[in-house]
Structure 1
Amino acid sequence: MTTNVLILCTHNSARSVLSEGMLNHLARQFGRDVHAYSAGSSPSGRINPFAIEVLRNAGVDTGNFRSKNWDEFVAADAPRMRIVITVCDSAAEEACPYWPGSPVKVHWGHPDPSNTEGGDDKKRLAFELTRQAIAYRMLQLLLLPIDEMSDAELQETLQRLAGS
């Protein structure tokens, strides 16, 4: 059975997209039945071009990315989520909708690379470093025996990984 993971950030333009891309990419590489989605509470309507660039450079297919509202994932026909991860502090502090099935929730914050001062080279580097940090966390998630874990065990483990 597929483990669905929803990754949230306010604007769904950088960190959540990097997370969706890396989790799906790594899940395919490792043959894991995990599918990531991303969304935001106030989506910007566009994906940051640096996020697309660093994902493409990492071999991730970016053809279907779009900035989405989290309301899409509470609809009756939406995939049922097992895990909901917030990756920005503002999304973690917002009142999230009720997620059908009461998924495990965790906050794995990352600084916003979009706020990097300087030219394109500095921003590109910030996005790449953020992508790498996110990829490491997503790899840790994929190495867990998710299908064998209770929600309580999964919650505790994901919280512990938040501190690493």
Structure 2
Amino acid sequence: MSKKRVLFLCTGNSCRSQMAEGWTRHLKNDSIEVYSAGIEKHGLNPLAVKVMAEAGVDISSQASKTLDDLPDLEFDYVITLCGHAQETCPFFPAKTARLHVGFDDPPTLAKTARNEEEALDHYRRVRDEIRDYVRTLPESLGDIPEGA
């Protein structure tokens, strides 16, 4: 079986898409060639790095990037993780299936936290939701027609 090439796309490629890339490398490296990017670069979020490390996944060497920073690759699937990325997702060739799986934005949620631990709890919840989604891959992608 050849690996599916999957791109996780978010606004700033700082948190959710980085977590998704890390989980996919950790859990699905045998079946998925994974990339992440943002519409913009916001830098790697240190709290995302911290909560992923708590779960045994090191994303500290990953870097925030845009599509322009990726080599000229064709993707089987582009998965947008936030509404902004879904709305502004650039054009991909017809054979690339696009889908949206939205997750809350931990940095936005953390702004209302009373302390760092409460802020980290937002990151942990989203981290675990992304992990649970990644566990369904690539099987859950099989129902999506190419070019969708």
* Same fold flag (TM > 0.5): yes
Q: Deviations over 1:54-107 (max 9, x none)?
A: 11111113243110012234xxx433211100001111111x333246311100
Matches within 5 A, 1:83-122: 83-94=77-88, 96-100=89-93, 102-116=95-109, 117-118=112-113, 119-122=115-118
Structure 2 counterpart SS, 1:140: coil
Matches within 5 A, 1:54-93: 54-73=51-70, 77-93=71-87
1:36 corresponds in structure 2 to 34
Cα 1:100–1:155, aligned 2, differ >3 Å: closer, same or farther? closer
The CA distance in 2 between the partners of 1:58 and 1:155, in whole Å, is 33
Residue 6 of structure 1 deviates from its aligned partner by 0.4
User: Gaps (5+ residues) in structure 1?
Assistant: 160-164
TM-score by length of 2: 0.86
The CA distance in 2 between the partners of 1:134 and 1:113, in whole Å, is 12
Matches within 5 A, 1:145-160: 149=142, 153-155=143-145
User: Gaps (5+ residues) in structure 2?
Assistant: none
TM-score by length of 1: 0.78
Q: Quick one: which amino acid aligns to residue 19 of structure 1?
A: A
Quote the RMSD (CA, aligned, Å).
Answer: 2.1
1:135 corresponds in structure 2 to 131
Which stretches of structure 1, 4 residues or more, deviate above 3 A after TM superposition? none
Asked if 1 retains the 8 angstrom alpha-carbon contact of 2:49 and 2:58, the reply is no
The CA distance in 1 between the partners of 2:35 and 2:140, in whole Å, is 20
Asked if 2 retains the 8 angstrom alpha-carbon contact of 1:6 and 1:84, the reply is yes
Residue 23 of structure 1 deviates from its aligned partner by 1.2
Q: Deviations over 1:5-32 (max 9, x none)?
A: 100111111111111111111114xxx3
Identity over aligned residues, as a percent?
A: 31
Asked if 2 retains the 8 angstrom alpha-carbon contact of 1:80 and 1:101, the reply is no
The CA distance in 1 between the partners of 2:105 and 2:144, in whole Å, is 26
